[in-house]
């Protein structure tokens, strides 16, 4: 893939539904910054927006419980739902932009996110058994909630993921005295440096957090650590009902659409 400095390369380092870590090379810091912002603020996710309480005799006030319900990450079918502002119902609310979730429970019991009954089986809590409120003997809770799509730009409850990145470290090891080897191994908090066959070796540069402890411990410049300017390690942990890998894909699509819109507006100036 052609990037801003020749060819862009992408390598997945770790991956599961909750988190993905990948290395992207051949790009500028401006690009990775834009990609991170897309993941944080432009990926549509499903979250509870309105709660209508019929009964709430728990110790938790309505507004506090409603706020907690809004933080529950919900899965959804991207093909079935659209953002409310883009829906043909003109912001009135319909099955294409909203979904209802209901709950009715009596104490003594703990109320979990799994207790939410949904009108659409694709819309459920992404994380099992999130505790919402404890009901004691004689207490009751009954409500109907309305969930809809939104983006992190509107509210943090719709934030797609927690995203961080760092430059890939370039670690150079010079001649290290035998008496100092133990020092360099112990000073690294991530276990990146290791003594082997009378030398200090780098086990995995991706694990380096650029703390520079090893550089500070170098009396004669035995260790040099510099960031690779066009290579970045991304860590993406989903904060929504969307898999981490899908958050990345949706963010790149959103970034591409914004570039197309920019090009259209630019042509109007000619």
Report helix, strand or coil for 151: coil
Strand 9-15, strand 19-25: pairing: antiparallel
Tokens at 74, concatenated: 């919900």
The predicted-structure confidence for 199-233, as pLDDT tens digits, reads as follows 888 888 888 888 888 888 888 888 888 999 999 99
CA distance 123 to 99: 8
pLDDT number for residue 270: 65
Cα 118–Cα 121–Cα 125 angle in degrees, nearest 5: 70
Fold of 45-157: RNA Polymerase Alpha Subunit; Chain A, domain 2 (2.170.120)
> In CATH, which superfamily holds the domain spanning 2-42+162-235?
RNA polymerase, RBP11-like subunit (3.30.1360.10)
Cβ neighbors of 44 (< 8 A, separation 6 or more) are 78, 83, 149, 150, 151, 158, 250
CA-CA distances (angstroms) from residue 252 to 32, 218, 239? 11, 41, 17
Between CA 227 and CA 168 the distance in angstroms is 6
Angle at 87 (CA atoms; ends 82, 92), nearest 5 degrees: 120
Per-residue pLDDT tens over the stretch 140-157: 999 999 999 999 999 999
**pLDDT tens digits for range 111-143:** 999 999 999 999 999 989 999 999 999 999 999
Q: How far is CA 261 from the centre of its chain?
A: 25
Q: What is the largest CA-CA distance in the chain?
A: 74
**Are the C-beta atoms of 10 and 27 separated by less than 8 Å?**
no
Alpha helices (H) in the chain, listed in sequence order: 29-41, 62-70, 178-187, 213-216, 244-268
Query: Could you give the CA distance from residue 101 to residue 124 in angstroms, rounded to a whole number?
Result: 9
pLDDT mean over 14-25: 93
Q: Encoding tokens for residue 43?
A: 């990926």
Q: Tell me what percent of the chain is helix, strand and coil, each rounded to the nearest 5.
A: 25, 35, 35
Domains in the chain: boundaries: 2-42+162-235, 45-157
> pTM here?
0.82
| Number of Cβ atoms within 10 Å of the Cβ of 77 | 11
Asked if pLDDT for residue 80 goes beyond 70, the answer is: yes
Q: Is the pLDDT of residue 238 over 60?
A: yes
What average pLDDT does the structure give for the chain? 90
User: Looking at residue 4, what is its pLDDT?
Assistant: 43
pLDDT of residue 2: 41
Distance from the first to the final alpha carbon of the chain: 29
**133 vs 79, residue with greater confidence:** 133
What's the rounded mean pLDDT across residues 87-110? 90
Tokens, residue 226:
């510099």
């Amino acid at each position: 893939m052609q990037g801003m400095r020749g060819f862009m390369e992408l390598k997945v380092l770790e991956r599961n539904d909750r988190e993905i870590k990948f290395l992207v090379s051949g790009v500028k810091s401006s690009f990775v910054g834009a990609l991170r912002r897309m993941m944080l603020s432009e990926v549509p996710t499903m979250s509870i927006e309105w709660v209508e309480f019929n009964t709430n005799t728990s110790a938790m006030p309505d507004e506090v419980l409603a706020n907690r319900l809004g933080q529950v990450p919900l899965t959804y079918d991207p093909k079935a739902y659209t953002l409310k502002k883009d829906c043909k119902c003109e912001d009135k609310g319909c099955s294409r932009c909203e979904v209802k979730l209901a709950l009715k429970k009596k104490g003594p019991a703990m109320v979990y996110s799994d207790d939410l009954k949904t009108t659409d089986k694709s819309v459920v809590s992404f994380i099992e058994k999130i505790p919402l409120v404890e009901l004691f003997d004689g207490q009751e809770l009954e409500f109907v909630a309305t969930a809809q799509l939104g983006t992190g730009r509107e509210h943090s409850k719709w934030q797609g993921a927690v995203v961080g990145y760092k430059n890939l470290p370039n670690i150079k090891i010079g001649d290290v005295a035998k008496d100092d080897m133990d020092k360099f191994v112990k000073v690294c908090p991530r276990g990146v440096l290791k003594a082997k066959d009378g030398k200090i070796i780098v086990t995995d540069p991706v694990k380096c957090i650029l703390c520079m402890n090893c550089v500070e411990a170098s009396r004669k410049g035995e260790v040099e650590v510099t960031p690779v300017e066009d290579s970045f390690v991304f860590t993406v942990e989903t904060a929504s009902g969307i898999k981490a890998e899908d958050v990345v894909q949706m963010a790149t699509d959103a970034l591409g659409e914004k570039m197309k819109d920019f090009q259209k507006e630019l042509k109007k100036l000619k």
